[in-house]
Chains A and B, each alone.
Chain A
Amino acid sequence: LPTGLSQWFPALEVLDVSGTGLTEMGTELLSLPCLHTLLAKNNRLGGPGSLPKGLGQAPLARSLRVLNLSGNRFSEVPPALLQLRGLRSLSLGGNRLQGIPPDIQELHSLEFLYLGGNFITAIPPELAKLPSLRYLVLCDNKIQSIPPQLAQLHSLRSLSLHNNLLTYLPREILNLVHLDELSLRGNPLVVRFVRDLTYNPPSLQELAGRTVKTRNIPYTPSDLPESLVRYLSLASNCPNPKCGGVYFDSCVRQIKFVDFCGKYRLPLMHYLCSPECSSPFSSASQSSTSQSESDSEDEASVAAHRMQKVLLG
């Protein structure tokens, strides 16, 4: 950036330096107190000096609303960027990102986040701590699974997941009630019932814990060692409405299909307390696959009905 920029244009609000071959943006940025939009796409940014030191203390940290760094060479989200507390819109599309830092949650005003076209393999659950996030783009990456916590993004209107490596989605995704759009094409979503998920038999501690919980055996903190009191408080309820059981660490991961009125079949991952729970109607028969496949009286289908307009392509 040219020296003297902030002296010549102290009231600068929008700066577009896209396509100029920049390799770093220097300290001139720190003296622009009114800058709310910075567009620097298609440059050569990505190295250590890309963003100036002291960004967190500059007026920019509070004034900047929009930052577009798409089409550069960032292999990680620069830590300095996470100090831009006022940021509403961030694009890092078409870079070389391998992951998303958990500290992304520091950008608590973020509404729009574009991370398409990178090499991201996993999503940190901390991403779900962005309360205003409305538009999240993760297409064209290498993502293998979505953390169920993402369902806590109550403001989310649009989620772009196309062209990744997803084989299933967490069941909790149906909780995103404000979601208007969801793109899933180009993922190797399983199309047939998958039954071979490994099941580690429960430990004696787990079996005892389940019994205490399901039979409502009363206990007080003075009855048990603190570690066991804590353990018992971590019981999860089996989502199978016909079961009512609990589990701790040992559970079956099962893929259940949610049928959107015969148009799309989405594989959603459930956690169940035992293999028997996966087929509540059958009496331990092996051929219950077709039963489960066509079972659309699942409570999930109610939420699914809400989402059927949401799917794109």
Chain B
Amino acid sequence: MEGVGAAVLPVVQVFFLTLLLLIMLPAMFGFSLGITETYMKILIKTLKWATLKIQKSVEEESKLKSSSSSNGLIQRDDSSLEKEIGERRRNRGGEFILSDVFYFSRKGIESIVEDEVTQRFTSEELVSWNLLTRTNNNFQYISMKLTVLWVIGVAVRYGILLPLRVSLTAIGLSWLVISTTVVGFLPNCWLKNWLSELVHVMCYRICARGLSATIHYHNRQNKPKKGGICVANHTSPIDVVILANDGGYAMVGQVHGGLMGVLQRAMVRACPHIWFERAEMKDRHLVTQRLRDHVKDKKKLPILIFPEGTCINNTSVMMFKKGSFEIGGTIYPVAIKYDPQFGDAFWNSAKYNMVSYLLRMMTSWAIVCNVWYLPPVTQQEGEDAVQFANRVKSAIAHQGGLLDLAWDGGLKRAKVKETYKQEQQKKYSSMVVGDDSSE
């Protein structure tokens, strides 16, 4: 037993080391050996086979697929307050009847069964299973073959992929810290900037391999340029890695302690990023001013901002906070859409902390996503920051195939404002009182 162990260990080590080098080196120099491509092809074939098996053996699945274009639980009646109760106003000059409560109670029960907002803060439910127990709420035991496949899947993911990915990420991050510190010693010149961009991108490429991320960039002619602001929809902290794979960005964020703090301090040595102290973040003018100063300098890298302010589950785009749109300068919108087939990228910060989230990421099959660079926009005449923000939001939602919602992502944690209720009350009152209020 001992003998076998001693013989196997060096083989395993060599195996890992070669894989590491084969993946890492090409990544650093921006070309690929095709290992990932072959892996993806095998994966897709296996998943297709698995889906077919499920579809064949369970009849309900086909019913599910045909009837759920929206995968919803109820068919929402889009009648508004005006339609239901407003008609009476025209007929009888408005008054109250006991059945007015029907409208509100139906709307209330509809929102209890299915509402537009809370479902954005949990992972998207998939119609077909992708061999990860975590993603499907509704599956049952199907067949022995499928179970075996799943077990093999677990072994592969936790035994092979996880250690590989963890080592890749560790290498990537240490590379970032070391090389940015080295570059930081150079005097400010074009060489420094060029090197720093190179070093940053290399590190992110290694990290992306560390997640088995396959990214498809579209419309690269619209890539954000220096002195601009890049805005994108936010799904997870990995968004940063995804975007920075294709170019250098100046990051914006809060100063952290621990490992993040080490990274932040190292990065800022090589090129200017914008890190705020916790106290500074409360002062909106200070924040806007610093961002404005950065944008004015046309030699500095474009700023990367996520105006939603929180992670949303990649089925919709929620309200963009207007702060980013008050800075001025050119906005470069970017739409990011993850393919849920291979792994769920959404970070449910209420349920998982950063470490368990990263663990989940590294034990998924892969992260596949599409990045669309949209043409640059600027604020138009007579358009205020809120309208500008909404315009950009719609463009991003439309490109990414996401639902455009006006609800605030902050509702994840905060209560909704009373003003919305008051609006409804006002609307209803005007119907009850009527034009000729002779009560």
Q: Do A and B come from one complex?
A: no
Q: Point out residues on B near A: beta carbons under 8 Å.
A: none
Q: Could you tell me which A residues sit within 8 Å of B by CB distance? A: none
